[in-house]
C-alpha cells in the first residue's frame, strides 16, 4: 500500500484539473493519470491512498490502484512515471483530516511530506473505517462500499451500479417484474398509496466475474426490483451481492414463511406490470 503525497498549493497538477478528476470519478467511477511512483514498490494492483499536503485540506483525499508499474530506473531516486487509476476522490476540503489520521491510524508520520511512501497494510482497514465515518450522506450509500473493499477485478462496480440507475433499463425491468420487492414482496404503493407508486430500487444481479468486455445489459434477466431494505441487505456481501434467492432463503431461515406473504404481492406485481406496459 502506497501513500501518494500531493501538494495542490505548490501548483503541481497530475490530474489536469482536480475538480474535473473528481467529476469523472463521480460520473464514470474511475479516473486515470500518470504519477511518479517508486518502481520496486508500485507493482500493478498496488493499493494507493492520495494524501493532500495542502494547507486548507491536509489529509486523505482519495483512493485507487496502480495499473501500470513504472520502469525501474536506478539513477532516478524519485521514481518514474506509472499510471494510477483512482476509484474514489473527494472534493478539496473534504479530506480525512490529519489530526484524525494521527489519532486513529497510528504508526505513520502524517505530518511528514513525501512524494510517495509505503504504508503498512494494516492501515487499510483503519483508513476504510475513517473514510466511511467521514463520508457525506451520499457516499455512505451501501451501494458504494468504502474504497478498496472490492478486489481489483471488481473495479467495474461503480459502472454496474449505474445500470441500477439507468431509467430506460429500469422501465423495462419493472414492466416485466412489477414494482413489488422480489425478496419480501413489499409494495410502496400498497403501503403508502399514490405517492408510493412506481417507487422501488432495481438491483443488478450479475456478479463482477460475469462482466466481461462484451457484456451487454439484459434489463429483464439482469435487473430485479428490490425494496431499499432488501437492496441494502443484498449489498452486505462483497464483492458479489446476495442473490434474491439467497435473500429469500435467509428470510425464511430467520422465520419468515414464504408463500403466506408472497402470493398476494406476486399478484400485485403482475397487475403493476400490466399497468406499466400500458403506460409506455
Q: Which stretch binds Zn ion (CB under 5 A): 6-14, 98-106, 174-182, 259-267?
A: 174-182
Name which of 73 and 249 has its Cβ closer to Zn ion.
Answer: 249
Nearer to Zn ion, 63 or 204 (CB): 204
User: Considering only 20-28, 55-63, 81-89, 182-190, which stretch makes contact with Zn ion by CB under 5 A?
Assistant: 182-190
Residues 228-267, interacting with Zn ion (CB under 5 A): 230
Residue 65 or 203 having the CB closest to Zn ion: 203
Lookup: cell for 202: 432495481
Q: Which of the ranges 16-24, 64-72, 99-107, 176-184 carries the binding residues for Zn ion, by CB under 5 A? A: 176-184
224 belongs to the binding site for Zn ion (CB under 5 A): no
Q: In terms of DSSP bridges, do strands 2-6 and 116-118 run parallel, antiparallel, or are they unpaired?
A: antiparallel
**Candidate list 203, 222, 233, 248; residue touching Zn ion; CB under 5 A:** 203
Q: Kindly state the cell numbers that stand for 82.
A: 506509472
Smallest distance from the beta carbon of 163 to Zn ion, in angstroms? 9
227 lies in the site for Zn ion, by CB under 5 A: yes
Taking the complex as a whole, how short is the minimal distance between the CB of residue 172 and Zn ion, in angstroms?
17
Shortest Cβ 190–Zn ion spacing (Å): 13
Question: Of 183, 200, 211, 269, which one interacts with Zn ion (CB under 5 A)?
Answer: 183
| Min CB(143)–Zn ion separation in Å | 6
- For residue 89, the minimal CB distance to Zn ion (Å) is 23
Taking the complex as a whole, the smallest distance from the CB of residue 230 to Zn ion amounts, in Å, to 3
* HEC-encoded secondary structure of the chain: CEEEEECHHHCCCCCCCHHHHHHHHHHHCCEEEEEEECCCCCCCCCEEEEEECCCCCCEEEEEEEEEECCCCCCCCCCCEEEEEEEEEECCCCCCEEHHHHHHHCCCCCCCCCCCEEECCCCHHHHHHHHHHHCCCCCCCCCCCCCCCCCCHHHCCHHHHHHHCCCHHHHHHHHHHHCCCCCCCCCCHHHHHCHHHCCCCEEEECCCHHHCCCCCCCCCCCCEEEECHHHHHHHCCCCCCCCCHHHHHHHHHHCCCCCCCCHHHHHHHHHHHHHHHHHHC
184 binds Zn ion (CB under 5 A): yes
Residue with Cβ nearer Zn ion (175 or 181): 181
Options 43-51, 94-102, 149-157, 175-183: segment touching Zn ion (CB under 5 A): 175-183
Span from 126-134, 166-174, 227-235, 253-261 in contact with Zn ion (CB under 5 A): 227-235
Q: Given CA atoms 97, 100, 105, 109 in this order, what sign does their dihedral have?
A: positive
Q: Site residues (CB under 5 A) for Zn ion? A: 181, 183-184, 186, 203, 227, 230
Amino acid at each position: 500500500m502506497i501513500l501518494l503525497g500531493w501538494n495542490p498549493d505548490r501548483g503541481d497538477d497530475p490530474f489536469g484539473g482536480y475538480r474535473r478528476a473528481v467529476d469523472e470519478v463521480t460520473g464514470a467511477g474511475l479516473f486515470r493519470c500518470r504519477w511518479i511512483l517508486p518502481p520496486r514498490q508500485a507493482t500493478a494492483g498496488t493499493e494507493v491512498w492520495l494524501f493532500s499536503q495542502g494547507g486548507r485540506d491536509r489529509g486523505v483525499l482519495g483512493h485507487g490502484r496502480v495499473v501500470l508499474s513504472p520502469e525501474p530506473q536506478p539513477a532516478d531516486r524519485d521514481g518514474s512515471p506509472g499510471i494510477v487509476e483512482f476509484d474514489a476522490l473527494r472534493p478539496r476540503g473534504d479530506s480525512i483530516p490529519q489530526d484524525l489520521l494521527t489519532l486513529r491510524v497510528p504508526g505513520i508520520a502524517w505530518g511528514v511530506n513525501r512524494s510517495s511512501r509505503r504504508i503498512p497494510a494494516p492501515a487499510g482497514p483503519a483508513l476504510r473505517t475513517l473514510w466511511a465515518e467521514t463520508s457525506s450522506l451520499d457516499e455512505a450509500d451501501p451501494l458504494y462500499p468504502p474504497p478498496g473493499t472490492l478486489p481489483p477485478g471488481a473495479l467495474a462496480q461503480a459502472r454496474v451500479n449505474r445500470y441500477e440507475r439507468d431509467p430506460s433499463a429500469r422501465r423495462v425491468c419493472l414492466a416485466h417484474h412489477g414494482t413489488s420487492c422480489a425478496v419480501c414482496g413489499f409494495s410502496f404503493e400498497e403501503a403508502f398509496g399514490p405517492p408510493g407508486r412506481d417507487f422501488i430500487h432495481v438491483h443488478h444481479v450479475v456478479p463482477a466475474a460475469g462482466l466481461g468486455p462484451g457484456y451487454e445489459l439484459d434489463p429483464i434477466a439482469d435487473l430485479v426490483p428490490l425494496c431499499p431494505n432488501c437492496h441494502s441487505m443484498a449489498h452486505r456481501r462483497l464483492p458479489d451481492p446476495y442473490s434474491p434467492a439467497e435473500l429469500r432463503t435467509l428470510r425464511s431461515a430467520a422465520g419468515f414463511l414464504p408463500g403466506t406473504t408472497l402470493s398476494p404481492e406476486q399478484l400485485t406485481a403482475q397487475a403493476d406490470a400490466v399497468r406499466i406496459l400500458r403506460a409506455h
